[in-house]
Structure 1
Amino acid sequence: MTTSPIKKAYRALHDRPLGQWIFSAIVSLKAPYFRTIRPTIVSLEPGRGEARMRDRWGVHNHIGTVHAIACCNLAELVAGTTIDFSLPESHRWIPKGMNVGYLKKAKGTLTAVGTIEGLDTLAADEARDVIVSVDVTDPAGLVVVHADITMWVTPRRTAASAT
């Protein structure tokens, strides 16, 4: 089984000069909508991922704070990269749903941390919902948005099962 492109690129780039920036640009090219928030993926490890988004005019709403959907975009980005990095190579994922709570006005550079639990009990032939919990915090560390993102996880199709 081959390593996911996310894992391969992250492992090749994360310790290099400009590696975070290059990796984040690659992810944003693969899923172009993420470019609207100009994210930086700070870290990925099994069960946890972190990304940031600067507060700039392009992500503001009509009252001058970071738009709720920009926060959702950041949450989905960190959830997707975290589950991709965390899943065994035998499985794949697709977003299925998102429950979001907007808790405070979002101002300043925002940090999203996604966490996943329970993947260690995933059987090789098992398909199930997996929840990625994401907290988006402001520069003071206050949670401004919380999202529970449901991912539908299934075994990858192999050449033998495709016939």
Structure 2
Amino acid sequence: MKNQLAKIVDKLNAKPKWMRGWLLDYVLGSTIKFVGTAGVQCKKLTQQESIFVLKNRKKVQNHIGTVHAAATSLVAETASGMVVGMNIPDDKIPVLKTMHIDYTKRSTGNLRAHATISEEQVERLYKEEKGDTVISVTVTDDAGVEPVECQMTWAWVPKIRK
């Protein structure tokens, strides 16, 4: 079953290949302003997985020239939230419940966040009126190192409260 977001992404993916990425980045960045401001880019977005990239540019750097801690958490949150967003029924709202990030190593260059969701998790989104689930997300840098270990717990609630 596809929700409204998944249908929009399908329409964007039907566009010529050269404009797909730009269109998706524009739509996401104008809808989620902080994602657009930071320049988070979508490399892959399906109902099973998402990949988002954040380039190490001046506007997202810290005082030592690496991607700022807040920007690092943003790319992880975006990847995990979008894979939930692609699956959540239209009558529910996704909400980040907890974000646990351990900064374990200094990052090198750009960051890439890869998030996945299981079929069991998707089933729960449809069956349970409200609940939460931990979404698997891995962040790597240009050297292939995981500078952070993340645990993102996403909750869902009905759009209309009873």
Scaled by the length of structure 1, the TM-score of the pair is 0.84
Shift of 1:90: 5.4
- Specify the alignment match of 1:104 in structure 2: 105
- Specify the alignment match of 1:145 in structure 2: 148
Shift of 1:156: 5.0
How many pairs were matched up?
A: 158
Deviant stretches of 4+, over 6 Å:
none
Can you list the C-alpha shifts for 1:77-127, whole angstroms capped at 9, x where unaligned?
A: 111111111334554311111001112112212110012233244153432
- Specify the alignment match of 2:63 in structure 1: 62
Q: Which of the residues 131, 134, 147 maps onto 1:131?
A: 134
1:1-163 equivalence runs, <5 A: 3-4=3-4, 6-15=5-14, 16=16, 17-89=18-90, 91-117=92-118, 118-122=120-124, 123-157=126-160
Could you tell me which runs of 5 or more consecutive residues in structure 1 were left unpaired when the two chains were aligned: none
Q: 1: CA distance between counterparts of 2:8 and 2:122? A: 23
Segment of structure 1 superposing worse, 131-140 or 115-124: 115-124
Shift of 1:46: 2.3
The alpha-carbon distance between structure 1 residues 22 and 120, as it changes in their structure 2 partners (threshold 3 A), is closer
Between the aligned residues of both structures, percent identity stands at 27
Q: 1: CA distance between counterparts of 2:122 and 2:57? A: 39
Q: 1: CA distance between counterparts of 2:108 and 2:154? A: 28
Could you tell me which runs of 5 or more consecutive residues in structure 2 were left unpaired when the two chains were aligned: none
The alpha-carbon distance between structure 1 residues 2 and 155, as it changes in their structure 2 partners (threshold 3 A), is farther
Shift of 1:128: 1.0
Shift of 1:32: 0.6
Segment of structure 1 superposing worse, 34-43 or 7-16: 7-16
The alpha-carbon distance between structure 1 residues 2 and 110, as it changes in their structure 2 partners (threshold 3 A), is closer
Shift of 1:154: 3.1
Can you list the C-alpha shifts for 1:126-159, whole angstroms capped at 9, x where unaligned?
A: 32111112211011221112221111123454xx
Q: 2: CA distance between counterparts of 1:97 and 1:46? A: 22
Q: 2: CA distance between counterparts of 1:128 and 1:72? A: 23
